[in-house]
Structure 1
Amino acid sequence: MTEPAPRRWTRRPEGSNWGDFGEDDQIGRMNLITPARRLAGVAEVREGLCFALSLPLDYPGWDDPILGRAPPVLSTRRLADAALFNFPFGRVIPGSRDLCCDDAVTLSTQYSTQWDSLAHWGRLFDADGNGVDEPVYYNGFRAGSDLPDADANGGSHARRLGIEHLAVAGAQGRGVLVDLTGVAPDARAVGHDALMALIAEQRVEVRTGDFLLLWTGLDEQLLAMNRQPDRKRLAQTAIELDGSDPALLRWIDESGIAAICSDNTAVETVVFGEDCCADGKSFLPLHELCLFKLGIHLGELWHLAELARWLRAHRRSAFLLTAPPLCLPGSVGSPVTPVATV
């Protein structure tokens, strides 16, 4: 008789939902998007208008100095010792008058408009309950075995929690947008109270299984900078969620939202410093809560301005969102061209 496989964890992080959707779950809160909730998204379509929510994938335009993400590089394939661009097939097929263009791309999957997979953010945590911290990810999946290291046979990739699971799950449902562009200059780290006030003012109804979209105006700033972003200026004007606010984190959990997507670079404020990780804290607490504890996917650098202005003009906040990532097995993130239909 075959022995059952040992459970990956005996202890889960406080406030997490590990195991609630099954011991082997790899899509987290996307489980909440049932057929009924997807139909609720379809019910928000009244005009048949659509908005593409992706920046051009060569934006922002910087070479990321921290994570090394770089703009995509297009290259041309070759056939019969010639570039496969305006290639005349008459060179290989006598009498052919056909032409062909074919290319390839090298890209950082999280450079521009993107999804973070649940394999993007992990923690050192004592999941075995033996007093020793292990490197683990959502639902207790392990670094090394489930996410092999770079020097492993075949190289680094996510055997579990890869972005393909979000693709197959069908990233589609009811989306709601909150306009954060009007916050005061001295309150650009948006906490619970400020967010609740905006939600009430804009009459946004947030339901279980919704995609929550946050427009801060950074998308328009980046487009205006034409691939030559001014980092200092962007840092001075950035609007982000305050991941250090316990009330905000509690609301994210209790709201039942399936994903959070923003036009900024990390959804939350990134704070580096000597004390940012004191007492074992994460320097990205919202990433810890969403990706590591609750399985809430994060979308970053989405282009939301046109949709936000249309919704405001028509006194609406909800729409059908369709946003599948690339079905790229093993990837920890993916470019995405989301579409909002109103």
Structure 2
Amino acid sequence: MRNRRWKHRPEGSNWGDYGEDDQLGRLNLITAEKVLQGIAEVRDGKTFCLSLPLDHPGGCALNPNRHPPVLRPTLRQGGVNFNFRMGNLQPGGPDVVCDDLAILHLQYSTQWDSLAHVGALFDVDGNGVPRPVYYNGYAADEHIHGPQHPDDAGVQARMRSESTSQAGALGIERMAETGVQGRAALIDLHAHLGPARTLVGYDSLMRVLEADRVEIERGDIVCLHTGFADAVLAMGRQPDAKTLTERCAVLDGRDGKLLQWITDSELAAIAADNYAVEAYPAAGGDACCAALPLHQHCLFKLGVHLGELWHLGPLAAYLRRQARYRFFLTAPPLRLPGAVGSPLTPVATV
């Protein structure tokens, strides 16, 4: 198999399987039938908000490159457009209005990763020269553009009317356009492994699935409850990074059997309530190994979107009381063209 963007695809990848120009990856498996399966899981008509408040975790302890959101009023006729009395424009009018803007680090809190979030150096041309590429062979600088000067990046970036970076392919808007609705399955790692830091490989995961009689089927969205988001909330926007690195279950991205299960299960996407889904940086491996092997396997090879810092605690408790694990999930990101990640407010309906 060859493609105009690549002659060789990574071992174990599905590049080209959904079409030469595919930008959705495993979201292709969320068919109309899967949406109907999800709707069939709605029995009680009860909904759960699966997003943290977007000003959580608070500070920059979890990631020094990502900062809390900033809310500011817009300007109106040189003044502050907040509690603005419209009578200033139309004498005697009763209207009072507020209007604001947000400065967001798109992957600060509850988020989806787009397929342009993580790529790898890979010899797509078969000439012995690895190039930086992303899912389905979309190339850095050709399809995924970014600025070269620090003045055009970060919180101190020069104000411009146009964007300085652009995922011309694989942007988060591709995910948003699908609606991201379907059947989801919750795996309650916290219920079985407790609050301690636990590296979860294939064998551990299979024991949890067997104990709770959880079956993951083609096109399901998998949600992992570890208790991490609840720990973040309890810290009241003052997270203790050392404490959090010692808390809750994380997937072992170095476990080849676990990665193969992700491939074989044909799950559509993975969302977790923790930071990074997997242990970061991954333990072991040599100098040429990925620091985020599960990210590389999912985003780069398979086109499996990853969600992080979802608030799954209340939903997990409810499902456990009901002896259930499946639910209907609605989880579209922002339809922001060119972005490589996005905050969202996922909703579970049970």
Q: Shorter-chain-normalised TM-score: which range? A: over 0.9
Q: What is the correspondence of 1:282-301 to structure 2 with a 5 Å cutoff?
A: 282-301=290-309
One-letter amino acid matched to 2:280:
V
Cross-structure match for 1:328? 336
Cross-structure match for 2:111? 114
Distance 1:226 1:266 in 2: 20
One-letter amino acid matched to 1:237:
R
Q: CA deviation at 1:272?
A: 6.3
2:324 is paired with a residue of what secondary structure? coil
Matched, 1:206 2:203: no
The one of 151, 173, 178 equivalent to 2:187 is 178
Distance 1:188 1:65 in 2: 18
CA deviation digits over 1:53-106, x for unaligned, max 9? 000000000215755100000000111222111100111222211010000000
The one of 17, 20, 36 equivalent to 2:17 is 20
Q: CA deviation at 1:183?
A: 1.3
CA deviation digits over 1:289-315, x for unaligned, max 9? 000000000000000000000000000
Cross-structure match for 1:216? 226
Unmatched tracts of structure 1, length 5 or more: 1-5
CA deviation digits over 1:204-260, x for unaligned, max 9? 121100010000001111111000011111111131001111110000000000001
Cross-structure match for 2:94? 97
Residue pair 1:167, 1:326 contacting (<8 A) in 2 also: yes
Distance 1:98 1:224 in 2: 40
TM-score for the superposition, normalised by structure 2: 0.92
Distance 1:186 1:56 in 2: 24
Distance 2:202 2:329 in 1: 25
Q: What is the correspondence of 1:220-259 to structure 2 with a 5 Å cutoff?
A: 220-259=230-269
Distance 1:257 1:272 in 2: 22
Distance 2:243 2:163 in 1: 42
One-letter amino acid matched to 1:204:
V
Distance 1:37 1:250 in 2: 23
Given the superposition, is the C-alpha separation of residues 112 and 261 from structure 1 closer, same or farther in structure 2, using an over 3 Å criterion?
same
Q: What is the correspondence of 1:244-283 to structure 2 with a 5 Å cutoff?
A: 244-271=254-281, 276-278=285-287, 280-283=288-291
Cross-structure match for 1:309? 317
Given the superposition, is the C-alpha separation of residues 213 and 272 from structure 1 closer, same or farther in structure 2, using an over 3 Å criterion?
closer
Q: CA deviation at 1:151?
A: 3.5
Distance 1:271 1:154 in 2: 31
The one of 168, 189, 192 equivalent to 2:202 is 192
One-letter amino acid matched to 1:318:
R
Cross-structure match for 1:80? 77
1:200 is paired with a residue of what secondary structure? helix
Deviates more, 1:154-163 or 1:70-79: 154-163
One-letter amino acid matched to 2:145:
P
CA deviation digits over 1:173-212, x for unaligned, max 9? 0000011113167770000011011011111121100010
The one of 155, 165, 171 equivalent to 1:162 is 171
Q: CA deviation at 1:271?
A: 2.3
Distance 1:338 1:20 in 2: 28
Distance 1:244 1:250 in 2: 11
Distance 1:272 1:263 in 2: 18
One-letter amino acid matched to 1:303:
H
Residue pair 1:17, 1:294 contacting (<8 A) in 2 also: yes
Cross-structure match for 2:158? none
Cross-structure match for 1:3? none
Distance 1:47 1:118 in 2: 34
Distance 2:56 2:64 in 1: 16
One-letter amino acid matched to 2:135:
Y
Q: CA RMSD in A?
A: 1.7
Given the superposition, is the C-alpha separation of residues 277 and 109 from structure 1 closer, same or farther in structure 2, using an over 3 Å criterion?
farther
